[in-house]
Amino acid sequence: MSATLAKRTTPRQGRARIRVQAILEAATRLLVEAGYDALTTTRVAEEAGISVTSLYHYFANKRAIVAELTGHFVRHRKSDLDLLIERADRGEPWQGIVDTLIDDLTQAYRAAPVTAIILHALKADPELRKLDDRINAQVARQLTRLLEAMGIAKRRASTLARIATIMLDAYVIEVVRVPQSALGTLSREFKSILTAYIALDMPEAPRR
């Protein structure tokens, strides 16, 4: 991560951790209320009840704050994927694993309104776009492991994972945009598309 996006100081004492949490919660509220373009470190500091100098002790700029919020979300999604890989290693039906993958993403992105603003920032801000690219590369690596655990050959799994990552990236953007009434249809259609795509490379089940 570039120096402008990295957290300047990792809080170790309880008071420092509380202060960083206050900064992140304040930034989340302001992002939802006014959007990324209107976010400033001054407004975040005021909302968090601290000085701008104190904020700069932990974050170089608003990009670094958004990067930290993104990191929290990504770590949870990584844990979800790790659990799916374990299920695939145990030999569970792959179609159910794909369904769970889509359900987990749908619920996670819908549950946090700030993700819509963060997704926009990751695509629109040139510096944050680099972070977005790194996140997608990480997702592709995990999806490669997942597809291999499902039984797809490694080289082909890598190609499928890259394409699936692009598809998932587009899907979550729609998830945070569509009204609740359209979410079920969107989810079902996307599951059908992704399942059909993966099925083209799944090894045939042994005949009895």
CA distance 146 to 162: 12
Question: With contact defined as beta carbons under 8 Å apart, do 198 and 98 qualify?
Answer: yes
Report domain extents, the chain. Answer: 14-62, 69-199
Q: What are the φ and ψ backbone dihedral angles of 16, each rounded to 5 degrees?
A: -65, -40
pLDDT tens-digit series, residues 132-187: 999 999 999 999 999 999 999 988 999 999 999 999 999 999 999 999 999 999 99
14-62: which CATH number, 3.30.390.50, 3.40.50.880, 1.10.760.10, 1.10.10.60? Answer: 1.10.10.60
Tokens 């794909």, residue? 98
CATH 2.40.30.10 is held by the domain 69-199: no
Tally the residues of the chain: 208
End-to-end CA distance of the chain: 52
pTM of the model: 0.86
pLDDT tens-digit series, residues 78-133: 999 999 999 999 999 999 999 999 999 999 999 988 998 999 999 999 999 999 99
3-state helix vs strand vs coil in the chain, percent to 5? 75, 0, 25
